[in-house]
Amino acid sequence: MTAREPLVLYDSTDSVATITLNRPRQHNALNPDICGELAAAWRRFNDSDDRVAILTGAGKSFCAGADLNEVPDLWRCVPGVEIKVAKPIVAAVHGWCVGAGVVLVQMCDLCVAAEGGRFSYPEAIVGLTGGLVASIAARMPHKVAMELILTGDEMSVERGYEVGFVNKVVADADLMDAARGYATRLAGHAPMVLETLKEFVGQTLPKGPTEQAGIARGWTERITESRDFAEGRTAFQEKRTPRFEGR
């Protein structure tokens, strides 16, 4: 039996991690499997010596959003919600960036986009929302954000640049070079300063209810899945003093 190709690729070069959504036939639509691998990629990035990550998609699109046939718990793979990512992330967007893909981009620190790309947030049209998109109103003008998420109309990456959601628009052939240009520069900067500034900005930006709930659930699940919880329960049953390890 041939092992399937990973749904998320991770490449490390010169202190820059390139994390690639790798479900190109489905335009990188997010189902539980790819979300699980993306979450693992963020944890790998956190534990690595890589200083900056580039997030992109294989094939013709960045991400087609949630797979409506297998809707995932998106909050589990969005950086900054269940998994805190202190190091900078650069989004490299091409083709379509839809729904959950927009959420991923909004949680990145910088965004480079290829000419002709499109953002779309059609949840009001398909009748489904998780609400994580709410904080996009802190990342572009309020009325523009509401037009994107309420109407479901597409927004060009050029318009995204005009309203401050995109840092740079380049030719498709230049996309990854432009993203690596940002990433390489940041990788040469002081890591503690970058982490501190990202943390302070994260505390400044408003968080939507779903985002806040995901952060809280992430913390509580760390406890219920910990050795200390298992030890505390066993000690209670055995009527002895627990021996906690802090993990």
pLDDT in tens, 76-85: 999 999 999 9
**Cα–Cα dist 153/83, whole Å:** 30
**Cα–Cα dist 145/154, whole Å:** 12
Does residue 227 form part of some domain? no
Does residue 87 form part of some domain? yes
Q: What is the per-residue pLDDT for 176?
A: 98
pLDDT in tens, 203-237: 999 999 999 999 888 888 889 999 999 989 999 99
Predicted TM-score (pTM) of the model is 0.92
Does residue 217 form part of some domain? no
Range of the domain at 94: 8-207
pLDDT in tens, 55-111: 999 999 999 999 999 999 999 999 999 999 999 999 999 999 999 999 999 999 999
**Which CATH number does the domain housing residue 94 bear?**
3.90.226.10
Does residue 71 form part of some domain? yes
Query: What's the 3-state SS for the chain?
Result: CCCCCCCEEEEEECCEEEEEECCHHHCCCECHHHHHHHHHHHHHHHHCCCCEEEEEECCCCCECCECCCCCCCHHHCCECCCECCCCCEEEEECCEEECHHHHHHHCCCEEEEECCCEEECCHHHHCCCCCHHHHHHHCCCHHHHHHHHHHCCCEEHHHHHHCCCCCEEECHHHHHHHHHHHHHHHHCCCHHHHHHHHHHHHHHCCCCHHHHHHHHHHHHHHHHCCHHHHHHHHHHHHCCCCCCCCC
Does residue 187 form part of some domain? yes
Number of domains in the chain: 1
Does residue 88 form part of some domain? yes
Q: What is the per-residue pLDDT for 2?
A: 54
Closest C-alpha among 158, 148, 66 to residue 113? 158
